[in-house]
Amino acid sequence: MSLRVSAKHVSGPRRRAARLMFYGAASLSLLVALFSTGCRKAGSSASNNISGAESNAAAAQTHEPVYSPTPANAAPLVTPNGEPDLAELNRSLLRWVMANRRKPASFEDFAATAKVTIPPPPAGKKYALNPSTMHIVLSDK
């Protein structure tokens, strides 16, 4: 079946509709051709691959979020004058959010699962999580 349209036979809005149908069909066939090839590993052997059911079962057993602790060469969480480095704490919070794919419910939730040593807050202050900006702030007790 040919979708070729001649200007002699169709004019005005029908011509535009026919042209859109032609380009739509061409785009759709191109997308189908691209996605039908699939994403496959080149040169993978069946002996070293885990089947889908086994990998899903393994993922279900290890439901713990993947998070690597702060590297040894990372900046300390305390400034030279002894104050907590809020910028570095916020970077740790961002790493935690990216690793766990969710926002923490509170600062305590972050601190309990962050696997980072959080310095004590200054006297009369406590850490809090600002829910609108997702930043760690110091607030009065």
- The torsion angles phi and psi of 78, rounded to 5 degrees, stand at -130, 135
Check residue 36 and give its pLDDT.
67
Check residue 100 and give its pLDDT.
93
**Structural domain contains residue 26:** yes
**Structural domain contains residue 64:** no
| Residue-level length of the chain | 141
**Structural domain contains residue 61:** no
Check residue 110 and give its pLDDT.
93
Check residue 68 and give its pLDDT.
46
**Structural domain contains residue 1:** yes
Distance of CA 69 to the CA centre of its chain: 18
> Which range, of 10-19, 31-40, 83-92, averages the lowest pLDDT?
31-40
The mean per-residue pLDDT over the stretch 9-33 comes to 74
Position 30 pLDDT exceeds 90: no
What domain range is 31 assigned to?
Answer: 1-38
Radius of gyration, alpha carbons of the chain: 28
Q: What is the dihedral of CA 78, 82, 84, 85, to 10 degrees?
A: -50
- Considering 4-18, 19-33, 58-72, the range whose residues carry the highest mean pLDDT is 19-33
**Structural domain contains residue 31:** yes
**Structural domain contains residue 55:** no
Closest CA to 66 of 40, 94, 100: 100
- Would the CA dihedral through 9, 14, 18, 19 be positive or negative? positive
The count of domains in the chain is 2
Give the three-state DSSP class for 10: coil
**Structural domain contains residue 90:** yes
**Structural domain contains residue 52:** no
Check residue 18 and give its pLDDT.
78
